[in-house]
């Protein structure tokens, strides 16, 4: 059988190909979104992969694997490979074998095992025993409250995901609603996909809702979605984000888009520690400690109030101590927001175990086609490395070669040309090495913003950029995450962190807010030709092409 009227090509190695222009593409994507992970989404054919984690995600959100297999078979151009049926049933069979429930005496939790043999096996798994309490019956094991998250992570790693039915504490009640009209008088309403994301997180109010991750492009309004989720929960909310700038943005959006008053929302960061019914804190302040061996004095923020919801902004950036403490706050509803679940440390399974399953995602290109985010054109500009700079590169030890290539003096003239080529586009010059960025800022007489820039100065620069008083900013990695610069339409990347896919996604994300006119942004990467920098650029190029972005490579710049 080879039926072209069906959109999927499902292969025995658990990869799935889908033709984007196929009339039944929407059906195919809806099916795959529940049981597979999107790997590549270039122009014409998207690639997905079915994994144990993706199947457990399917089960966690209440989807039946038998129905999923029937749908895959109905959409498959060729007969469904036997390995697909066997693997899906095998992985789905692991789900539900272990459930975590409240003790009838409400003095802890109970791990219920499907049979006595499994209960005995669980105790023998490495790293599991010390999370368990006494044996209550042949199939039931006591679990201390504080071990809830740690046990889930350990069992997921061992291949035994836990269906957590222990529920959540309601949290301190808070009256909160989304506005229908902004303070200036303009009407306001959630977009359709934002409504869908909130509904998916809450699962229609069922017991399955209340924990999980929403994946949407930068510029898609994840902050608004988080606030809408908090309004639906109606309880005290703790928001964790990446920087003091992001804290300010969350508070500004909350006051603009919700009925929260200034006395109901506070910041908890390096400069202010104001605990309110809605508190926005930085990961940095929570993971601060005075020495490498000292404790984390602010992690008790998780317990300082009866939170009904904890929101993790840029959840793919969770630092290790936050993973650890999140294991202990499993009784709170948890919402993760991110543009990509890619983690360079491969800890996606821990995000699943501790925050919850992926509840919703919307491809960047679909939002782009609907006009909700800007279209992006990506160009790699290869520049020759010559003279003393090339000699320094050749003599550098392996650890220094990337920086030697990245600091190619030819990049300065290229920046000048690109800024002149797009004179009406608010621009960001982005890099990794502060010395290099300082020299660029001095040469072009542009403001410089780095990790050492005082917060008031950062706020002033961002405000001037948004108001159009500054046409361009030179920024370090501090601008990679959760910085709202909606008018930025041009980015020039002069150096990066090796071949980090995550960093490339975040930097491109600075440009994706909708733009007036043709709604197009330009992202340039300056690369020293025939050097190690070009090799690392290949990783970033591949990632952007896999996301479906047009990527051009040019030699030199006119």
- Looking up residue 237, the CATH number of its domain turns out to be 3.40.50.300
User: SS3 breakdown of the chain: % helix, strand, coil, rounded to 5?
Assistant: 40, 20, 40
Q: Within this chain, do residues 430 and 481 fall inside the same structural domain, yes or no?
A: yes
Distance CA 42, CA 543 (A): 10
- Is 112 inside a domain boundary? yes
Phi, psi of 167 (to 5 degrees): 75, -175
Distance CA 292, CA 450 (A): 24
Distance CA 366, CA 193 (A): 11
Tokens 């361009």: give the residue. 472
User: Around Cβ 314, how many Cβ atoms within 10 Å?
Assistant: 24
DSSP-derived 3-state class of residue 120: helix
Contact between 311 and 229 under an 8 Å Cβ cutoff? The reply is yes
Q: Within this chain, do residues 440 and 530 fall inside the same structural domain, yes or no?
A: yes
Contact between 329 and 335 under an 8 Å Cβ cutoff? The reply is no
DSSP-derived 3-state class of residue 268: strand
- Beta strand pairing call for 45-49 and 15-19: antiparallel
pLDDT at 447: 94
Domain end call among 335, 362, 389: 362
Distance CA 190, CA 221 (A): 9
- Is 265 inside a domain boundary? yes
- Is 27 inside a domain boundary? yes
Distance CA 280, CA 266 (A): 6
DSSP state of 81: P
CA of residue 325 relative to chain centroid, distance: 19
pLDDT at 364: 74
- Is 170 inside a domain boundary? no
Q: Within this chain, do residues 333 and 403 fall inside the same structural domain, yes or no?
A: no
Q: Within this chain, do residues 49 and 132 fall inside the same structural domain, yes or no?
A: no
Say how many Å lie between the first and final Cα of the chain, rounded: 53
The count of domains in the chain is 4
- Is 182 inside a domain boundary? no
Q: How is residue 44 written in tokens?
A: 């014409």
- Is 369 inside a domain boundary? no
Q: Within this chain, do residues 49 and 121 fall inside the same structural domain, yes or no?
A: no
Domain end call among 304, 327, 362: 362
CA atoms within 13 A on the CB side of 204: 3
Q: Within this chain, do residues 404 and 514 fall inside the same structural domain, yes or no?
A: yes
Q: Within this chain, do residues 330 and 428 fall inside the same structural domain, yes or no?
A: no
Q: Within this chain, do residues 74 and 55 fall inside the same structural domain, yes or no?
A: yes
Q: Within this chain, do residues 207 and 349 fall inside the same structural domain, yes or no?
A: yes
**pTM: predicted TM-score of the whole model, two decimal places:** 0.83
Contact between 94 and 159 under an 8 Å Cβ cutoff? The reply is yes
Q: What is the 3-state secondary structure (H, E, C) of 298-312?
A: CHHHHHCCCCCEEEE
Contact between 216 and 322 under an 8 Å Cβ cutoff? The reply is no
Q: Within this chain, do residues 549 and 412 fall inside the same structural domain, yes or no?
A: yes
DSSP-derived 3-state class of residue 540: helix
DSSP-derived 3-state class of residue 402: helix
Domain end call among 306, 336, 362: 362
pLDDT at 436: 94
- Is 368 inside a domain boundary? no
Specify the CATH number for the domain of residue 123: 3.30.70
Q: Within this chain, do residues 431 and 504 fall inside the same structural domain, yes or no?
A: yes
Q: How is residue 524 written in tokens?
A: 């340039």
User: Around Cβ 385, how many Cβ atoms within 10 Å?
Assistant: 25
pLDDT in tens, the chain (558 residues): 688 899 999 999 999 999 988 999 989 988 998 889 888 777 788 889 999 999 999 999 888 899 999 999 999 999 999 999 999 999 999 999 999 999 887 678 999 999 999 999 999 999 898 999 999 999 999 999 889 999 999 999 999 999 999 989 999 999 999 999 998 889 999 999 999 999 999 987 777 789 999 988 877 889 999 999 999 999 999 999 988 888 988 999 999 999 999 999 999 887 888 899 999 998 888 888 777 777 788 888 888 889 999 999 988 777 778 888 888 888 899 999 987 776 656 677 888 889 999 898 877 777 888 888 888 888 999 999 999 999 999 999 887 898 999 999 999 999 999 999 999 898 999 988 999 999 999 999 999 988 888 888 888 888 898 888 999 999 987 766 556 666 788 889 998 765 455 666 667 777 777 777 777 888 899 999 999 988 888 877 777 777 777 788 999 887
Phi, psi of 39 (to 5 degrees): -100, -45
CA distances for 246 relative to 280, 318, 484, angstroms: 9, 15, 8
pLDDT at 484: 63
- Is 176 inside a domain boundary? no
Distance CA 501, CA 58 (A): 26
Q: Which domain holds residue 424?
A: 374-555
DSSP state of 142: E
Strands across the sheet containing 278-282: 265-268, 278-282, 237-241, 309-312, 333-338, 211-215, 358-361
CA atoms within 13 A on the CB side of 128: 21
Q: Within this chain, do residues 24 and 111 fall inside the same structural domain, yes or no?
A: no
């Amino acid at each position: 059988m080879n039926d072209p009227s069906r959109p999927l090509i499902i292969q025995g190695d658990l990869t799935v190909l889908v033709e984007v222009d196929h009339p039944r593409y929407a059906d195919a994507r809806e099916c795959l979104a529940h049981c597979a992970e999107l790997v590549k989404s270039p122009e014409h054919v998207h690639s997905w992969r079915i994994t144990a984690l993706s199947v457990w995600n399917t089960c966690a959100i209440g989807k039946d694997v038998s129905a999923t297999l029937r749908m895959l078979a109905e959409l498959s151009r060729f007969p469904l490979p036997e390995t697909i049926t066997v693997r899906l049933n095998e992985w789905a069979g692991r789900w539900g074998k272990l459930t975590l429930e409240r003790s009838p005496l409400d003095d802890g939790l109970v791990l219920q095992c499907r049979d006595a043999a499994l209960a005995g096996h669980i105790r023998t798994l490495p790293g599991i025993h010390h999370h368990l309490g006494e044996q209550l019956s042949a199939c039931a094991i006591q679990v201390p409250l504080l071990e809830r998250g740690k046990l889930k992570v350990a069992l997921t790693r061992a291949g035994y995901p836990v269906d957590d039915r222990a529920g959540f504490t309601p949290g301190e009640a808070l009256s909160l609603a989304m506005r229908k009209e902004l303070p200036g008088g303009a009407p306001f309403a959630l977009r359709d996909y934002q409504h869908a994301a909130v509904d998916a997180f809450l699962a229609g109010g069922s017991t399955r809702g209340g924990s999980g991750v929403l994946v949407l492009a930068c510029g898609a309004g994840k902050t608004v979605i988080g606030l809408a989720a908090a309004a639906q929960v109606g309880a005290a909310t703790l928001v964790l984000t990446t920087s003091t700038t992001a804290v300010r943005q969350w508070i500004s959006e909350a006051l603009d888009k919700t009925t929260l008053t200034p006395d109901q929302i506070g910041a908890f960061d390096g400069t202010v520690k104001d605990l309110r019914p809605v508190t926005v804190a930085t990961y940095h302040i929570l993971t601060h400690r005075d020495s490498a061996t000292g404790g984390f004095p602010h992690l008790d923020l998780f317990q300082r109030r009866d939170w009904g919801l904890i929101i993790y902004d840029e959840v793919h950036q969770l630092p290790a101590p936050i993973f650890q403490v999140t294991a202990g706050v499993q009784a709170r509803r948890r919402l993760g927001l991110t543009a990509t679940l890619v983690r360079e440390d491969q800890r996606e399974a821990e995000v699943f175990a501790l925050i919850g399953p992926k509840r919703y995602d919307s491809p960047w290109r679909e939002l782009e086609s609907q006009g909700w985010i800007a279209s992006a054109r990506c160009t790699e500009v290869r520049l020759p490395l010559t003279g003393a700079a090339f000699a320094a590169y050749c003599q550098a030890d392996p650890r220094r070669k990337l920086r030697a290539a990245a600091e190619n003096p030819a990049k300065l003239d290229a920046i000048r040309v690109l800024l002149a080529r797009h004179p009406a586009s608010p621009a960001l010059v982005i890099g990794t090495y502060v010395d290099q960025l300082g020299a660029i800022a001095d040469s072009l007489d542009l403001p410089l913003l780095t990790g050492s820039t005082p917060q008031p100065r950062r706020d002033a620069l961002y405000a001037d950029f948004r108001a159009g008083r500054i046409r361009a900013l030179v920024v370090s990695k501090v601008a990679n995450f959760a910085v709202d610069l909606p008018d930025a339409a041009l980015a020039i990347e002069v150096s990066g962190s090796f071949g980090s896919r995550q960093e490339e996604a975040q930097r491109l994300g600075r440009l994706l807010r909708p733009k007036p006119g043709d709604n197009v942004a330009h992202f340039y990467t300056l690369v020293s030709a025939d050097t190690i920098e070009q090799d690392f650029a290949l990783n970033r190029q591949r990632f952007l092409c896999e996301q479906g972005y047009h990527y051009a490579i040019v030699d030199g710049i006119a």
